[in-house]
Amino acid sequence: MKPTPDRHGACRGQRGIAALEFSLTLTMLLMFICAVVGYGVLFWMQQQLAAAANEGARAAVFARFSGAPDVNGAACTAAMGVFSTGSAVGCAITSAPCAWSGAGGQTANCATISMTYNTQSWPVLATMQALIAMLPGTNKDWIPSRLSSKATVQISQGTP
């Protein structure tokens, strides 16, 4: 038996196809938008980490030359000031001899400010990671689990 068209010219068996196509298209569009937003947040956060590390490096130099007793604390405080309170950003500072010589060939001291961010602390990225894990295939490292940035600054010219 041949399907009969209704008053709009569509066959009775084809009525739900438009709704099905719309739902599949909308689902794919929403997944694409979420992916773009998620990766945008990753790039933005990486830029924020780099800015925070640079701010911490500037603060370390300023604290060292203004005679502050806790150079590392001042650098981390300045670096964390880039972010709002309660964020999942970590700050660590290491002091070590520089890879280059200071004035007069003496050993110079450097401070390295390391900023890290755990991407799993943001629910949207954690959800995207769970969705990616369900895809077939072997490589599922599309979203990094941790972002990091470092800045190294010379804080002294060396000791005589």
In a domain, 3, yes or no: no
Q: Mind listing the pLDDT tens digit for each residue in 31-63?
A: 888 888 888 888 988 999 999 999 999 999 998
Q: Which residues contact 97 (CB under 8 A, 6 or more apart)?
A: 107, 108, 109, 110
Q: Note the pLDDT tens digit of each residue in 107-131.
A: 888 889 999 988 878 777 777 777 7
7, part of any domain: no
The structure tokens listed for 55 are 């701010």
In a domain, 10, yes or no: no
Give pTM, 2 decimals. Answer: 0.73
CA angle 112, 113, 116 (to 5 degrees): 130
Is residue 9 in a domain?
no
Structurally, the chain folds into a number of domains equal to 1
The sign of the dihedral angle between the CA atoms of 154, 157, 100, 97 is negative
Residue 3: the pLDDT is 59
Question: Are 84 and 73 a contacting pair, CB within 8 Å?
Answer: no
Flag whether 2 is in a domain. Answer: no
For residues 59 and 155, is the Cβ–Cβ distance under 8 A?
no
For residue 80, is it within any domain?
Answer: yes
Would you say residue 42 lies in a domain? yes
Range of the domain at 42: 15-156
Q: How confident is the model at residue 160 (pLDDT cuts 50, 70, 90)?
A: very low
**Angle of helix 17-66 relative to helix 71-80, nearest 10 degrees?**
150
Indicate the burial class of 151 (C-beta count within 10 angstroms; 0-12, 13-18, 19 or more).
Answer: buried
Q: Lowest-confidence range among 22-26, 41-45, 81-85? A: 81-85
115 within domain boundaries: yes
